[in-house]
């Protein structure tokens, strides 16, 4: 008489308490422009099913059995900030059921969520991405989503991401809250896991900052280049075009919002270097003009 479509409680007023935790296996991608975060997780859920109990003495002291997750009732938890193409069902894996009715369900999941990435300090930034689990149909009196300290999160690297690093001990935090929504008067609890990531800046230092710094130094050579060479203005224009290319590289990966403009592109390197090259270009034109007038009958003004 087991019915997997109804909550596994004998008394309908009983609340099913679902404890949830996650394990991070791999960070696949962070898209600053789309403000999304993709990762591979192992999701762990634990609850008590009052219809899945048995007497150990009657069954040769069998303490636990494995049952496919699609054969019993499972919580209808969804990821609230899901950003994938479609909501895929969880992978059908076995659940571990103990003789007292405790059910443990662990399954892998490849998820993509919305994540507000603050690129102000790019590429020396840290990011926080949330993954929120909530019941889609049951309110807090029917299904309570909890996070227990005894049911900790963890980080197990299958392969480390080359751009992002997450601390094994403190990289994942969790908090619970309950809110009212427009549909219903009851409170709907949810558990939000926050993944704390730090960006590896070496790639950007070598491929973005170092070339820009070299261009900044090269711009000074225009002051020492003889006017007779005729390349004084061409040098500064070429340097200015090179800076525009680097600025486009940064702009293509950054979100098009005024609140997320990186300091790197505003003042530290690109802006100051472009101002420096622009001044050098103006000075090169003036010096070339003065040199041309010196070799002609036209005299330069006294203030020059």
Q: Provide φ and ψ at 270, rounded to 5°.
A: -65, -50
Separation in Å, CA 83 to CA 36, 116, 132, 192, 251: 7, 12, 12, 16, 23
Answer yes or no: is pLDDT of 289 > 90: no
* Upstream peptide bond of 128 is cis (omega within 30 degrees of 0): no
302 domain-assigned = no
Tokens matching residue 219: 């711009």
Q: Provide the terminal-to-terminal Cα distance of the chain, rounded to the nearest Å.
A: 101
Which tops the pLDDT comparison, 274 or 296? 274
Q: Is residue 253 part of a domain?
A: yes
Collect all residues with Cβ–Cβ distance below 8 Å to 257 and sequence separation of at least 6: none
Whether the per-residue pLDDT at 285 is higher than 90: the answer is no
Q: Looking at the structure, tell me whether residues 184 and 171 fall in a common domain.
A: yes
Pairing of β 143-146 and β 77-79: unpaired
Domain contains 226: yes
Inside any domain, residue 110: yes
Do 210 and 142 fall into the same domain?
no
Cβ contact 27:164 at 8 Å:
yes
Q: What is the CATH number of the domain that holds 105?
A: 2.70.170.10
Helix, coil or strand: residue 119: coil
Residue 303 within a domain:
no
- Note whether 104 and 24 are same-domain residues: yes
pLDDT mean over 152-163: 68
71 and 164 share one domain: yes
Q: Are strands 154-155 and 77-79 parallel, antiparallel or unpaired?
A: unpaired
Structure tokens at 193: 């896991």
181 plus 74 within the same structural domain: yes
| 6 occurs within a structural domain | no
Pair 210, 104 in one domain = no
pLDDT of residue 75: 93
* Ordered DSSP codes for 228-262: GGS-HHHHHHHHHHHHHHHHHHHHHHS-S-GGG--
Number of domains in the chain: 2
Domain boundary among 181, 199, 217: 199
Mean pLDDT of 26-45: 88
Model confidence over 47-89: pLDDT tens digits?
A: 999 999 999 999 989 999 999 998 999 999 999 999 887 766 5
User: Would you state the pLDDT for residue 284?
Assistant: 84
Cβ contact 237:284 at 8 Å: no
- Token reading at 263: 């300091």
- For residue 238, the enclosing domain spans 202-294
Q: Which two tokens stand for residue 98?
A: 């103990």
Same domain, 125 and 226: no
Residues 84-129: tens digit of each pLDDT? 877 665 678 999 999 999 999 999 988 999 998 888 888 888 999 9
CATH classification at residue 251? 1.20.58.390
In this structure, the answer to whether residues 53 and 139 fall within a common structural domain is yes
- 11: in domain: no
pTM: 0.80
Concatenate the DSSP letters of all residues of 153-215 into one string.
-EE--SS--SSEE--TTTSEEEEEEEEE-TT-SSEEEEEEEEEEEEE--HHHIIIIIHHHHHH
Is the CB of residue 8 less than 8 Å from the CB of residue 49?
A: yes
Q: Read off the pLDDT of residues 226-264 as tens digits, 9 standing for 90 and up.
A: 887 778 888 888 888 888 887 777 777 666 666 666 776
Is residue 136 one of the residues assigned to a domain?
Answer: yes
Answer yes or no: do 161 and 213 share one domain: no
The last residue of one of the domains, among 160, 175, 199, is: 199
Cβ atoms < 10 Å from Cβ of 94: 15
Decide which of 166, 182, 199 is a domain's last residue: 199
Say yes or no: 195 and 64 in one domain. Answer: yes
Same domain, 175 and 265: no
- 168 shares a domain with 100: yes
Rg over CA atoms, the chain: 31
Torsion angle of C-alpha atoms 262, 266, 270, 273, degrees rounded to 10: -160
């Amino acid at each position: 008489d087991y019915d997997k479509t109804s909550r596994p409680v004998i008394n309908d007023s009983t609340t099913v308490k679902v404890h949830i935790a996650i394990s991070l296996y791999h960070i696949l991608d962070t898209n600053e422009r789309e403000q999304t975060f993709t990762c591979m997780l192992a999701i762990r859920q634990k609850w008590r099913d009052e219809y899945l109990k048995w007497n150990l003495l009657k069954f040769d002291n069998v303490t636990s059995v494995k049952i496919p997750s699609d054969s019993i009732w499972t919580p209808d938890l969804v990821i609230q900030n899901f950003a994938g193409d479609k909501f895929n069902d969880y992978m059908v894996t076995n659940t571990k059921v103990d003789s007292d009715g405790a059910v443990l369900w662990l399954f892998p999941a490849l998820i993509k969520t919305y994540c507000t990435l603050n690129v102000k300090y790019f590429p020396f930034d840290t990011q926080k991405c949330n993954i929120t689990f909530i019941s889609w149909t049951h309110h807090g009196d029917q299904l309570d989503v909890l996070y227990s300290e005894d049911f900790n999160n963890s980080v197990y690297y299958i392969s480390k991401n080359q751009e992002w690093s997450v601390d094994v001990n403190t990289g994942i935090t969790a908090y619970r809250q309950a809110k009212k929504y427009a549909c219903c008067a009851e409170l709907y609890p949810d558990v939000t896991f926050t993944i704390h990531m730090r960006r590896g800046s070496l790639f950007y230092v070598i491929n973005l900052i170092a070339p820009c710094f070299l261009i900044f130094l090269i711009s000074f050579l225009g002051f020492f280049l003889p006017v007779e060479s005729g390349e004084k203005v061409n040098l500064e224009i070429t340097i200015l075009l090179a800076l525009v290319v680097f600025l486009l590289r940064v702009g293509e990966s950054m979100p098009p919002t005024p609140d997320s403009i990186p300091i790197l592109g505003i003042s530290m390197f690109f802006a100051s270097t472009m101002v420096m090259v622009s001044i050098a270009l103006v000075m090169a034109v003036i010096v070339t003009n003065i040199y041309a007038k010196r070799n002609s009958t036209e005299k330069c003004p006294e203030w020059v």
